[in-house]
Structure 1
Amino acid sequence: MTHTPADPQSAPGPEQLREQVEQTRHDLGQTVQALADKADVKARAQHKTAEVREKAATKAGALRERAVTQASELKAQAAKATSQVHDKRPDAVKGTTAQAAGQVRAGAARAGRMWQEKAPEPLRQKATQSAQLARDNRTVLLVAAAGVTVLWLASYREKD
């Protein structure tokens, strides 16, 4: 592989040869590093895992945002439907409804007092925990109730 030039003036000098050797070493080092990177399966797998994890987190965030938006829209639709139902009720029904609601509240208060007096302590604790759970998840319960109301109203309209 040694090449002897015909013209002695164009022959590389020792300094040029050293620079070529250094350049060749540098190129060879980069090639070896590239091959080592390709051979490092663990690092490549970790990099791919990080990419997939990032994509999944992005998609989950988008899905969560869309679910919240849909829940808000459903809540607004339920409020509108409820308002429409209240507006369409005759005055006589409104008065009867208010009276019935008062009676239900009074009956519930009596039942609650009787419950406090007669129910065993472990049962009262469980009931208290269940009530707290319902209060903590009020939004979910309201959205579900709104969905049922919308479905009921839709089926009611189809019958007309």
Structure 2
Amino acid sequence: MSSDEPTPETLREHIEHTRDELGRTVEALAAKADVKAQAREKTAAVKAQAAEKAALVTGQIRDRVEHAAHLASDRTPAAAAAARDNRTAALVAVGAAAVIAFLLVRQVRHARGHK
């Protein structure tokens, strides 16, 4: 055996290292190929994002309604006009929340349709 030839122990270590790398590569490829898991993750992310936006919109609506109620309690023409303006903004916010909910439902149905 010349000094350039690897020892049996070196060959075993190289084989073991190659097997480990191959195992990690196979696991990574399997994870990328798991479309169902990716769809579940995407659906969960969309649901969380929609819930966050809905909570934000709900808070904004609540604040505007409380503000309008406070202004309306003054019973002045200016307060009545402000209450009407806030009601319009609240209706727009409710409409936006409805659109978000619609998009969420559509996304979930689309993800389920590709199982």
Question: Same fold judged by TM-score > 0.5?
Answer: yes
Question: Which of structures 1 and 2 has the larger relative contact order (alpha carbons within 8 angstroms, sep 6+)?
Answer: 1
List aligned pairs for 1:8-157, cutoff 5 A: 8-80=2-74, 82=75, 84=76, 150-151=80-81
The letter of the residue matching 2:9 is E
Q: Give secondary structure in 2 for the equivalent of 1:17.
A: helix
TM-score using structure 1 length: 0.46
Cα distance, 1:41 vs structure 2: 1.0
Quote the offset at 1:9 in angstroms: 2.0
Larger Rg: 1
> 1:31-63: CA deviations, max 9, x gaps?
111111111111111111111111011111101
- Output the TM-score relative to the length of structure 2: 0.62
Q: Deviation above 6 Å: which 4+ runs of structure 1?
A: none
Give the fraction of aligned pairs with identical amino acids, expressed as a percent: 39
In 2, Cα distance between equivalents of 1:13 and 1:79? 92
Q: Deviations over 1:90-112 (max 9, x none)?
A: xxxxxxxxxxxxxxxxxxxxxxx
Q: What is the CA RMSD across the aligned residues, in angstroms? A: 2.7
What SS class does the counterpart of residue 3 from structure 2 fall into?
helix
Query: In the aligned structure 1, how far is the partner of 2:63 from the partner of 2:2?
Result: 81
Letter in 1 for 2:57: L
| Structure 2 alignment gaps of length 5 or more | 85-115
Q: How many residues get paired? A: 83
CA deviations over 1:109-145 (Å, ceiling 9, x no partner):
xxxxxxxxxxxxxxxxxxxxxxxxxxxxxxxxxxxxx
